[in-house]
Amino acid sequence: MDQRVAHYDEKMQKAIDFLVSDFATIRAGRANPHVLDKIRVDYYGTPTPIQQVGNVTVPEPRMIQIAPWEKSLIREIEKAIQMSDLGINPTNDGNVIRLVFPELTEERRKELVKDVKKKGEDGKVAIRNIRRDGNDAFKKLAKEEVSEDEIKDLTDVLQKQTDKYIKKIDELIEEKSKEILTV
């Protein structure tokens, strides 16, 4: 692959990676520790990911258990979870915090699928913006005595990459939607 196209291909791959990590934070019916990825706990004045202040496990399909390394953090972790958009109230027994995920209603599942599709569309827009930036850069190459055929080849290759990544996003949306709608 031409180095000039590889740069944009790399950017498109990063957009896909971001979308995958974003989808991981959307909870389907099962407990997934990745829903905690964006939540930060105040650890001695520093916002710290929950995974770095305790042991996060999934003892049951619909429960996440957090065992803080320091008991004094239980209140801070609970506060961080309550202030997040997770929508689950944590419970603790003095040693561990438990998050019990309720079954999703049909209506909530449909809302989540809409959310997945919107995030997918945002990902497609990002891919198309990268393609546009690439095409603009290739047009500027015309001033640097690069043949029109070479520029057309570059834009064709970039379009093929764009199509590949758009198809990948459609597959990711389909996969996540199925996961959410599976009861």
CATH number, domain with residue 170: 1.10.132.20
- The CA-atom distances, in angstroms, between 110 and each of 28, 87, 107, 162, 177 are 11, 17, 5, 29, 9
pLDDT at residue 3 tops 90 = no
Mean pLDDT within 161-170: 95
Residue for token digits 């599942």? 109
Distance CA 162, CA 169 (A): 11
* pTM metric for this prediction: 0.71
Q: In terms of domains, do 49 and 68 share one?
A: yes
- The tens digit of pLDDT for each residue in 124-145 reads 999 999 999 999 988 888 777 7
pLDDT band at 29, cuts 50/70/90? low
Co-location of 127 and 150 in the same domain: yes
Strand, helix or coil for residue 39: coil
3-class SS of residue 43: strand
Residue 57 pLDDT > 70, yes or no?
yes
The beta strands (E) that lie in the chain are given as: 40-43, 46-49, 54-60, 63-68, 91-92, 97-100
**183, pLDDT greater than 70:** no
Mean pLDDT score of the chain: 87
Confidence of residue 105 (pLDDT cuts 50, 70, 90): confident
Structural domains in the chain (count): 2
Structural domain boundaries, residue 40: 33-100
Last residue of a domain, one of 50, 77, 100: 100
What is the arithmetic mean of pLDDT over 70-88?
Answer: 85
CA atoms within 13 A on the CB side of 47: 6
Residue with tokens 């209506």, as numbered in its chain: 107
Three-state SS at 68: strand
Q: Are 118 and 175 found together in one domain?
A: yes
